[in-house]
Amino acid sequence: MSSIATFVNRFVGVRELAEAPSAAWTRSDAPRLRPLANEDVYLFVKRIDNSPVIRASDPVAQAARSKSMATGFAAAVLVIAGLVPTAYNVTAGFTLQQLRSEQVQLQRQRAILETQEAQLVSPDHLRQLAKNLKMTEPEPQQVQTLGGTSRLDSPAEARITLPFSSAASVR
């Protein structure tokens, strides 16, 4: 802790303090208070500017810093390399689960579409559709069976002669 003289010196200055008249005691009695410890010590504070000072490079410290950075980088690479397989397994698991759910959804859609197809090609539905379109079965004299094979590898082809066009045949 500094003395009172240091604080006075900061505000008043050394010259003004030297020119000040000495204190005259009106009473000659001894003071009742003990003197302050180190009151007679004067601490001079000087500001030091170290900005122009350049620190000398230490090659040992630079090598130690480089080695520690390389060690840290190597440790980071090892940790990341250790975590990559786990991250890949998690990602593959998510992808696998997504594909399984998509497979289940596609199987449901396939079952719905097969049900709809079965309803559309059922004989009852085809009879109802033919009735709505006013179709009738051809008469036996209107059906001609041809010999030979076709591109579809069916054993025979049938040709229907329409009543309104006696010369034209429809394949």
Identify the pLDDT of residue 115: 96
Candidates 118, 35, 164, 20; CA nearest to 126 is: 118
Structure tokens at 29: 């009695």
Joined together, the tokens standing for residue 69 give 């950075």
pTM of the model: 0.39
Rounded distance between C-alpha atoms, residue 171 and residue 152, angstroms: 14
pLDDT at 122 over 80: yes
Banded pLDDT at 142 (limits 50, 70, 90): confident
Least confident among 33-37, 77-81, 88-92 = 33-37
The whole-angstrom separation of Cα 133 and Cα 122 is 17
CA gap 17, 42 in Å, rounded: 13
